[in-house]
Structure 1
């Protein structure tokens, strides 16, 4: 085999480790937090959808993973994944 051995693969292994710790792992952690946030929605929560619509949760449906929110113009049904975790958390944060 000679001098190639594991030394030839070391840069590739190092690159994969860096890619995993700086890109893949944080994204998986964020996805897990968003899924938990959507599962913990309850009636009365003030939310913001990813498209920017503000409203209050009035109904939750576990069968199709949807929620009905009440806005100033009426009630609208959304998929729970359409609720923005960041914007909803910011909306409900206490004022400083």
Structure 2
């Protein structure tokens, strides 16, 4: 896997409007221009931000990609993708006690 190629793709998708549109219309066709493995294409089309970060991709790029193009675009869903909660686990958020 090539972290640099993944980061270049994500950067382009977060800053270039025409790239965003082409990705929305046909993600596979857009990604054909890049030297990506099938696994990398699957991470991008499946918005697998955890997989991307585990591959070494900069977290700011994965967050920008999520916010710009994910069907969900909700940051709570993004955080859930990064840390899936098991059935026996509870997800807590920190809060200041008064």
**Which of the five TM-score ranges fits, normalised by the shorter chain?**
under 0.3
- Structure 1 length normalisation: TM-score? 0.25
Greater RCO, 1 or 2 (C-alpha within 8 Å, sep 6+): 2
Higher-Rg member (1/2): 1
The structure that is strand-richer by fraction is 1
- Structure 2 length normalisation: TM-score? 0.25
